[in-house]
Amino acid sequence: MNQKMSKFAHITKVHPCYNEKLHDKIGRVHLPVAPKCNIACRYCKRCLGAESLCEERPGVAHHIMKPAEVEDYLSDLFKKMPNIKVIGIAGPGDSLFNKETFETLEILQDKFPEMVRCLSTNGLLLPKYAKKLADLGVKTVTVTVNAVDPKIQAQMCDWIYYEGKVLKGEEGAKVLIENQLEGVKKAYDYDLAVKINTVLVPEINMNHIVDIAKTYADYAFVQNIIPLIPMYKMENLRRPDCGEISGVRDSAEEFMTQFRACQQCRADAAGLLGEKKHMEQTKGKNLDIYDLKHFSH
């Protein structure tokens, strides 16, 4: 673990999703350029437009941003929020399943090379793109890993779309699990700092999460165990309580550093992690920042 800390010290000094002490100091912005997804998680419901305005969770954005909008949006945003040092792509679909992600990363590499660049992914295509991400200057990758046992993963995800085929149940789960581990190993080899996101579903994977930490201990920098937000096909399942979350984190921490301050941010979040702000499109064209504090929850 100390070796990993040393290897990625340059990231932990500037990235608020890798260092809880930076939450009130360094901001980040998510660019919602990746709408399509290649897996069907049972807890995920993507949401766009006006109905998304009062929601603060992954998978939602005011609208899908085009790569051509990115430079002007960021140039204006940095004037308003000079504390932003990190630019991420977090969907609202899967980043690696959208060509717009790579078009955006090329723009960022050219126009904003001083910014830390990161993205989130389900990891299905990470073996294919790990090197390309490194070549494009990406420094951190978050991979959502909910199981390392196909029987458990099949309860979290209905199907995956891979190499032109829809693979369901345990067949798809096995391919996803294998690709996630291979991809994380490659990312580590290319000096990408990897964070493992794990959605804690008490009825399904609560007693399995330590196995995830053990499996990824040598390759991922940190694990972020986040509570289920009951919705979509898991709307009747319960959210884990604070004691359960804390207990699982304590057990998993024996094998991997735990991140304990995740905000479960939107795909278009901007600013400090506690500010609850995101992108808005006004007058049909102009991009602006929308403040969720204007709405009750």
pLDDT > 70? residue 123: yes
pLDDT of residue 271: 66
Question: Could you tell me the two tokens for 227?
Answer: 């509570």
Confidence of residue 139 (pLDDT cuts 50, 70, 90): very high
Look over the chain and give the mean of its residue pLDDT values, rounded to a whole number. Answer: 84
So where are the chain's domains?
Answer: 2-282
> Do 169 and 154 form a contact (C-beta atoms < 8 A)?
yes
Work out the angle at residue 257's Cα, subtended by the Cα atoms of residues 252 and 263, and round it to the nearest 5 degrees. 95
The Cα 238–Cα 294 span in angstroms is 29
Weakest mean pLDDT among 31-35, 90-94, 244-248 = 90-94
pLDDT of residue 293: 33
Q: Which residue has the higher pLDDT, 6 or 52?
A: 6
pLDDT > 90? residue 12: no
pLDDT of residue 281: 43
For a pLDDT cut of 90, what percent of the chain falls above it?
65
DSSP string, 76-121: HHHHH-TTEEEEEE--BS-GGG-HHHHHHHHHHHHH-TTSEEEEEE
> Mean pLDDT, to the nearest integer, of 33-54?
77
Weakest mean pLDDT among 77-91, 244-258, 271-285 = 271-285
What pTM was estimated for this model as a whole? Answer: 0.83
Q: Biggest alpha carbon distance in the chain?
A: 52
- Residue 94 sits at φ, ψ, to 5 deg, of -100, 125
3-state helix, strand, coil in the chain (%, to 5): 35, 25, 40
Q: Which fold has domain 2-282?
A: TIM Barrel (3.20.20)
pLDDT > 50? residue 19: yes
